[in-house]
Amino acid sequence: MSALDLLHWARTAALQAGDYLRRAQRPHGPADWTRKGNRDYVTEVDRTAEHMISDVLTNGVPGGRIIGEELSPTLQTHGLVWVVDPLDGTTNFLHDYPSFAVSIAAAVDGVLEAAVVHHVPMRQTYYASRGGGAWLDGQRLHVSTITAPEFALIGTGFPFRDLSGLESYQRQFAAVAAATSGIRRPGAASIDLADVAAGRFDGFWEQRLSAWDIAAGMLLIREAGGKVTNLEGRNIGIEHTEVVAGNPAIHTWLLDVLQLEISTPERS
């Protein structure tokens, strides 16, 4: 199938899951949440949305494999692979904080071909195909043109599962905050990356994200003219990794700042 065919099925699945999530009743309290890990939860709503997406994708495109946190968390890159987060921002969903999304990407032999991020509360759908640009409900997206860090707005994600990197993150946060116009943390990485593609955020970084958190957002940013790498500056693919993203100028600056804070952990 072409990238546009894959995009069609990704959009179909994301929109159906989004409709379900808007109708779904939130669990009444923590007694109905399942703990996946430290400060990390899953509910029957996540599972139902993922099964719904899986049914649409496997029926629409037989032969593809699906990876996602609930159904099949083992990373694969051979052949057609769907990288799915049925509810990115589960904690936001549980607290009725309006920042959560459905994220679906299609990759063939490790190359991202199509991507959809559906912002559920806002009913906005970001999408991209390889070589076809990035779009928001029919409007072409471009990363921002801000090049001076002092005018930049940067998105981030705080460490919350594994706090072993908290001290290095705090140093990074302080350095970025001191040099920019602001930092924001809405709490759903797929939306954060979509905001970079749309030019709302000039850059973004997080120490550790899963492949299904970032796959769709990476293609959105690249098709909008931006860059997405790890902290070493390597272009990343279907993997669990740290993320540095932005328009080309801010990405370069942000990478330099973050690398400096890693290389100088103690200061007199």
**125/29 same-domain check:** yes
**119/238 same-domain check:** no
Alpha carbon distances (Å) from 205 to 34, 84, 127: 28, 21, 21
**115/61 same-domain check:** yes
The domain in which residue 253 lies consists of 149-263
Q: Say how many domains are in the chain.
A: 2
Q: Last residue of a domain, which of 140, 157, 178?
A: 140
When pLDDT is averaged across residues 188-198 and rounded to a whole number, the result is 98
| 268: in domain | no
| 228: in domain | yes
pLDDT in tens, 60-79: 999 999 999 776 778 888 99
Query: Which residues, in sequence order, are CB contacts of 259 under 8 Å at separation 6+?
Result: 231
Strands 101-108, 34-37: pairing kind: unpaired
| 186: in domain | yes
pLDDT in tens, 118-170: 999 999 999 999 999 999 999 999 999 999 999 999 999 988 777 777 899 99
